Structure 1
Amino acid sequence: MAYKFSHPQSWPDFFTDLVMACNLVIGRMEKAYDQFARQREHWLRALLQEKSLQQLTPDGYRLGLPIEQGQLWVIAWSTQTTPAIPLARKRMLTEGTVLEHLKSPLLFFGEDIGVILLDEHAQQQPPAKLRDALLKLCAPHPLWIVYGVRYHSLNELKMTLSYAIALAQKARREARNEYLLDMQAPGLESLLENPRLTEDLRNFATRLFAPLLEHDTTKSTHLTETFVLAQTLGSAQMVADQLTVHVNTVRYRLHKVEELLGIEHASPKERTAWALAAFVWQHFHLLEQTPPKQSSFLHDQGE
């Protein structure tokens, strides 16, 4: 026999009040979840702002983040907006999509960068599948996903997070046609993006270019920049076009570089080292000199 529920006779507005109470509870739950998400996002910012790792460790545990080891994904949205869906609604849909596919929350870093921290033993999901799902929300504008990043300490997380964000921003800035960026893939780019090698690569390039850097400092010349461009672009004319100077000026500078570095009598091994140093120098100085763009794809409320 089915039970028929009826409101108390002495409470004529029972169902109306019940609905209002349920909405109130749901609203408070959503507010609590939103505050918890904000705390996680603020923790990420503090991690990149040179805050004490000793202080951040207990906060990371309290927030339920995999801080000791895990996988890191970074998503960069286009800086163009799609007005079809309200921004707050789009943020909620995006969070739900990531949660459905990766079973981990999406943490927003600014308005157009998303960070996902996965447990070390989480089942690896195809990034293309997630990207296809997210494109349904932001089409026709593209998005880029950096994945394949693993860390085994809070300090490693800090380094990998910084470079994964920089790589995602760079891909967006250059409007790359490669939308899925695997940081573990072989190649020069993955070597340059490896945060464990950052300090060694910087020191390597600085040592090799020491004579040029000293000459540039004392004589106010541009030998380092000219040599780096010559190595990475491949011709004096292309360097001249890049620097908006006459090609003979470039040739004169390169002749001076040969004198300072002794390139004329260099071995193939030394020439290879200079070429690598040039790509290293260009990579890091480009990251330092190009500020990240701001956008309004996702509105980070409360900031």
Structure 2
Amino acid sequence: MPERKQRLMALRHVASQISSDEDLDGLLRDLVRSAVQQDDWDLGSVMSIDLAHGYGLVVTRFETSILPQHTEDRWELATSPSLIALQKNEPVYIRDALESTQFPGYRREAKERGYRTVLVLPMSSKDSEGRPMVLTVASRSVRDVSEEDLTFMATVVHLGSIAIERAHRQRAQHESHLRLQNALEAQRRLLRDVLAGGSVEHLTSTLADLLGGPVLVIDFFANHLVGAGSPAPASMDDAEWQRWLAGAFGRETVTLVRESIQRFQQTSIDIALHRGLNVKAAIAPLKVDEELVGALLTFGVTGSGDLHQLMLESARFALSVQMMRSVVRFRFETRTLTELFFEIVERRWRDEEDILQRGRRLGLSLVSPLRMLVVDFPDQRVPADAARAASNLSVESHGTVELLARQLHVPIHIVTVGSGLVCLIPQDGLRDVSALPRLAKRISETLARSLGREPIVAIGEVFQGIEPLASEWERCWRMIRVARKFGRSGPLDIQGLGPLPMLMGAADSADVHGFVDGTIGGLVDHDRSSGTPYLDTLAAYLRSGCRSQPCADAMGLHVTTLRYRLSRIQELFGIDVESPERRFAVELAIQLHTLTNAGANPAASRKTLPRNRD
């Protein structure tokens, strides 16, 4: 009875010792010391079993001797009873290690360190790296181990396993608490940076550190890509990655990501870099008022659970706030510049100095030489949500033109006019005079991919001042009307279109309108009210050189029908084209009438480039 009581007191002491230390290493030291001291062993150790590499690693030791001795901390499992203890989940008892031939490693160390009896007990707990462990005790004399001894040692090991599992849980809780604190601190840091007006580049770098991997932020409004860290560092360093983003591949990536979100609702995407190298990225859309404004792409960022999701949502929220500032700035600057532009071209200003000051506040000097480039979008056949589609088209095209100008080092001010863009380009900041035609060509080719076909890009001449700006707008608009009439697209200038824009400009005068009305006005009115084809017949007759049969063949008429129409035209309207002078006058009137009705007055609408397509 006294011995049993002594054993119970010993277990109580073991439990109190190993429960007093929350540190795993300290706990294991206390466990070995208690196991050795409470059951009169001479030395002991805890060993982690590395099954993958076939070794047992000593984690901690305790020895009653104070003399320094050589110790082996790494054992091959083939020479250790630890693997047998774990596989059978029962103690391995070696009565005399000096006499045993089964475990040569223990026999060799027993000679060096002077111990005889060894007891190896499997533990149900694991170390900090998830490896199984065993507790080993040894005696310097040969010792018989009874069932009661085994029960006592098994209870000690069990108490130790409970304490180890508790330490694991406490450590996991502590690490989880630290991660949560770090995530909350990262949230605060992100919001501070955003509210303080930090740049997207700084924010992107912070996000890469926070999420633990390369990230790419795409701003659809600015058509801008900001990357932090290469997604394939072995094949493409950070500098090469930045050049890749700034080039044509970067522009294609913007379109690809936008379509992946809007059309396919994808949450990941494969990006082809070069030499057959693809990288996979997770896509997180960024929205402001339910409008897609950007995207966050993460490469190789692994993680799951609520905390990772919280960090990702924090990143999205911070970027959305940053994008919202960009959206507001874009809309304000675009609206303000558009208002100023139309006030000038509609000649509604009263104080010229006020107009000049407003331009200077927007970074546009109206007293310096400028050149105008007008982009006219082709007709878009869109469904019921046409307003939003047109808005997205203008935003996307605005960003694309801005990016292209930046790549060609062309300073630019872009005015959004609904179904087109007006680009005002300062000439004193233009390094290369050939850059403007190249920019017009790049705009036409790049926008063709998103618009479905090439837009008209009218290139104006150099002007200086407010009134010349309004006149140049009218000239560019006349070029667009001519291009529309003849089905032209792509880059155009006044030389490429010949005298037609000049003729159209003259056709808008009151004298010319009077000439057209006096020559063919009655015929035009009759066709409009009665639906007769007299004007088309007369125009076809003049084009055929006033030859009846070729004209009838071209119109698909019988020659008698053609002659009847021509006689009616002469009877009703007094139009005679037999003499060269009258023929020239009528033909000129028809051409002027066609030109003046090919489009509307460019100042008549502030929302869109006019499109009265007769």
Larger helix share, 1 or 2: 1
Aligning the two structures, in what range does the TM-score lie when normalised by the shorter sequence?
0.5 to 0.7
The residue number in structure 2 matching 1:59 is 355
Residue deviations 1:118-169 (CA, integer Å, cap 9, x gap): 2354453242444335533541532221003343442332233145235436
The residue number in structure 1 matching 2:468 is 156
Q: Percent identity?
A: 13
Contact 1:228 1:282 (C-alpha < 8 Å) held by counterparts? no
Query: What is the RMSD computed on CA atoms of the aligned residues?
Result: 4.4
Contact 2:524 2:535 (C-alpha < 8 Å) held by counterparts? yes
Residue deviations 1:236-275 (CA, integer Å, cap 9, x gap): 4489679xxx534532245448x845644444xx644543
Q: What aligned pairs does 1:1-303 form with structure 2 within 5 A after superposition?
A: 16-24=187-195, 25=197, 26=199, 27=322, 28=325, 31-48=328-345, 50-55=346-351, 58-64=354-360, 65-68=364-367, 69-80=369-380, 87=393, 88-89=395-396, 91-101=398-408, 102-110=410-418, 112-121=419-428, 122=430, 123-124=432-433, 125-132=435-442, 135-139=445-449, 140-165=452-477, 167-168=479-480, 171=483, 175-176=487-488, 178-185=489-496, 187-193=498-504, 195=505, 197-200=506-509, 203-204=511-512, 206-207=514-515, 210-213=518-521, 227-228=538-539, 230-231=541-542, 236-237=551-552, 246-256=561-571, 260=574, 263-267=577-581, 271-288=583-600, 292=611
SS at match of 2:598: helix
Contact 1:61 1:67 (C-alpha < 8 Å) held by counterparts? no
State the alpha-carbon separation in 2 of the partners of residues 118 and 45 from structure 1: 17
Distance verdict in 2 for CA 1:281–1:67, change over 3 Å: farther
State the alpha-carbon separation in 1 of the partners of residues 469 and 328 from structure 2: 29
SS at match of 1:53: coil
Contact 2:370 2:425 (C-alpha < 8 Å) held by counterparts? yes
Distance verdict in 2 for CA 1:180–1:211, change over 3 Å: closer
TM-score (norm 2): 0.36
Contact 1:230 1:239 (C-alpha < 8 Å) held by counterparts? no
Contact 2:404 2:439 (C-alpha < 8 Å) held by counterparts? no
State the alpha-carbon separation in 2 of the partners of residues 253 and 150 from structure 1: 50
SS at match of 2:379: coil
The residue number in structure 2 matching 1:5 is none
Residue deviations 1:199-227 (CA, integer Å, cap 9, x gap): 45x62363265154357769978766754
State the structure with bigger RCO (CA 8 A, min sep 6), 1 or 2: 1
1:38 Cα deviation after fit: 1.8
Contact 2:404 2:443 (C-alpha < 8 Å) held by counterparts? yes
State the alpha-carbon separation in 1 of the partners of residues 445 and 353 from structure 2: 35
* Equivalent pairs, count: 270
1:81 Cα deviation after fit: 7.8
The residue number in structure 1 matching 2:36 is none
Contact 1:78 1:172 (C-alpha < 8 Å) held by counterparts? no
Unaligned runs of 5+ residues in structure 2 are: 1-180, 200-321, 383-388, 602-608
Distance verdict in 2 for CA 1:174–1:282, change over 3 Å: closer
Contact 2:415 2:423 (C-alpha < 8 Å) held by counterparts? yes
Contact 2:455 2:490 (C-alpha < 8 Å) held by counterparts? yes
Distance verdict in 2 for CA 1:173–1:276, change over 3 Å: closer
State the alpha-carbon separation in 1 of the partners of residues 192 and 381 from structure 2: 37
State the alpha-carbon separation in 2 of the partners of residues 46 and 167 from structure 1: 22
SS at match of 2:412: coil
State the alpha-carbon separation in 2 of the partners of residues 249 and 22 from structure 1: 82
State the alpha-carbon separation in 1 of the partners of residues 577 and 519 from structure 2: 12
Q: Tell me the amino acid that sits aligned with residue 109 of structure 1.
A: V
SS at match of 1:287: coil
TM-score (norm 1): 0.66
Unaligned runs of 5+ residues in structure 1 are: 1-10, 294-303
Contact 1:240 1:250 (C-alpha < 8 Å) held by counterparts? no
1:106 Cα deviation after fit: 1.9
Larger Rg: 2
Contact 1:67 1:154 (C-alpha < 8 Å) held by counterparts? yes
Distance verdict in 2 for CA 1:256–1:239, change over 3 Å: farther
Q: Tell me the amino acid that sits aligned with residue 250 of structure 1.
A: R
SS at match of 1:54: coil
Larger strand share, 1 or 2: 2
